[in-house]
Amino acid sequence: MIYLDNAATSWPKPPGVAQATSKALTSGLGNPGRTTHHLAMDAALMVQECRENLAQLFAIANPLRICFTSNATEALNLAIKGVLSPGDHAICSSMEHNSVWRPLVALQERGIELTIVEASTSGVVDLSRIEQSIKGNTKLIAVLHASNVNGAILPAAEIGRLARERGIAFLVDAAQTAGSIPIDVKAMNIDLLAFPGHKGLLGPQGTGGLYVSEEVSLRPLKEGGTGSDSMSASQPSYYPDKLESGTLNVPGIAGLNHSVRFLLQKGVAQVVRRETKLTQRLLTGLMEIDGVTVYGPSAELPRAAVVSFNLRNLDPVFVANELERRADIACRPGWHCAALAHQTQGTQDTGTVRLSPGPFTKMTEIEIALGVIAELAAEHQA
């Protein structure tokens, strides 16, 4: 199989991730933070080690400000619903995934104002338009770091600087960049960083997390189920316990710990270099095929390893099925949970075919994919 669906979830995982996850089940890891026996203590140490590894990856000073969640969506909901109150104003971009868009729209019914800043058709968000949208009651700016539809990278560091100057909380949806593009929460002035564990961080599904800076106060979405403060009627006020209700996904975190260690050893810069080469070849190859429309920023601009295209007026589902039937290529057709981004780039009626290489994709696999698309294009002339 040629797996080009890493934007949905990464595969394959680095060597040892499956073993780390399965060892947590077979050799036993207890329930961390609840008791003193050695299995529970081993689990607690492993979970703490994973927090420390994530902190190193994102330049987070205090690992205890990282709370584990089951995916990026849960982290984003925690951040958005935890920070906003009726009367507050929030800003996002027109490139957002529905994991940001839907919670913000839902909050409008509870008296929260929302401004959606329009990006260009290629996904570029102009900083000055964000600045112009700031009001006296703006409490949150929430943007994705890179688009899961066309790979466009938003100016997160510049938006962070603006948010810090104005005293506004800054939430970054790093679903398409955590582990594949460097992130430094301090340098980028990020108050809230939501990340999945199962995409660029190369861990198992069912993992993710939210970093909460000391500058921000969040209300929890769930209460109860912490081993700490057992006799108290209230949720602990300290992190990570405040936001980690219920038993953690210990086998998943064991796998994530292993994959983050792998990334730290390899270096995110090396992942960027490799994925950039693959993405550039994909872009230039697609643009040479008669009948292909490629979306997003022009090829020379930096982008995440996400490429969306259409082939004449063929249904993206048909194209994806043909890629699988002819060469066992896995990709994603459709709208990629991002209606706003498709409206922005004008593909709301059709969706697109999305190809997303990962750190283990080979150049020969990109060439095979390009060959199949060229073959399809030749068979379906205008």
Cα 368 to Cα 33: distance, rounded to the nearest angstrom = 49
Residue selected from 13, 51, 97, 242 as contacting ligand PLP according to rule CB under 6 A: 97
The reply to whether 196 sits near ligand PLP by the rule CB under 6 A is: yes
Q: Smallest Cα–Cα separation from 108: which of 136, 144, 81, 132? A: 81
Cα 312 to Cα 137: distance, rounded to the nearest angstrom = 46
Minimum separation from the CB atom of position 37 to ligand PLP (A): 32
- Using CB under 6 A, which residues numbered 45 to 74 contact ligand PLP? 71-73
Minimum separation from the CB atom of position 173 to ligand PLP (A): 5
**Whose Cβ is closer to ligand PLP: residue 97's or residue 258's?**
97
**Whose Cβ is closer to ligand PLP: residue 75's or residue 112's?**
75
Minimum separation from the CB atom of position 145 to ligand PLP (A): 8
Minimum separation from the CB atom of position 196 to ligand PLP (A): 3
**Whose Cβ is closer to ligand PLP: residue 33's or residue 196's?**
196
- Residue 36 CB neighbours (<10 A): 8
Q: Determine the size of the site formed for ligand PLP (CB under 6 A).
A: 13
**Whose Cβ is closer to ligand PLP: residue 173's or residue 191's?**
173
- Using CB under 6 A, which residues numbered 128 to 187 contact ligand PLP? 144, 148, 173, 175-176
Minimum separation from the CB atom of position 246 to ligand PLP (A): 18
- Using CB under 6 A, which residues numbered 3 to 42 contact ligand PLP? 8
The reply to whether 94 sits near ligand PLP by the rule CB under 6 A is: no
**Whose Cβ is closer to ligand PLP: residue 65's or residue 199's?**
199
**Whose Cβ is closer to ligand PLP: residue 33's or residue 204's?**
204
**Whose Cβ is closer to ligand PLP: residue 92's or residue 168's?**
92
Minimum separation from the CB atom of position 71 to ligand PLP (A): 3
**Whose Cβ is closer to ligand PLP: residue 177's or residue 226's?**
177
Q: Which residues of 169-204 are buried (b: 16+ CB within 10 A; e: fewer)?
A: bbbbbbbbbbbbbbbebeebbbbbbbbbbbbbbbbb
Minimum separation from the CB atom of position 341 to ligand PLP (A): 9
The reply to whether 208 sits near ligand PLP by the rule CB under 6 A is: yes
**Whose Cβ is closer to ligand PLP: residue 78's or residue 374's?**
78
Minimum separation from the CB atom of position 72 to ligand PLP (A): 3
Minimum separation from the CB atom of position 230 to ligand PLP (A): 31
- Using CB under 6 A, which residues numbered 335 to 364 contact ligand PLP? none
* Interface residues toward ligand PLP, by CB under 6 A: 8, 71-73, 97, 99, 144, 148, 173, 175-176, 196, 208
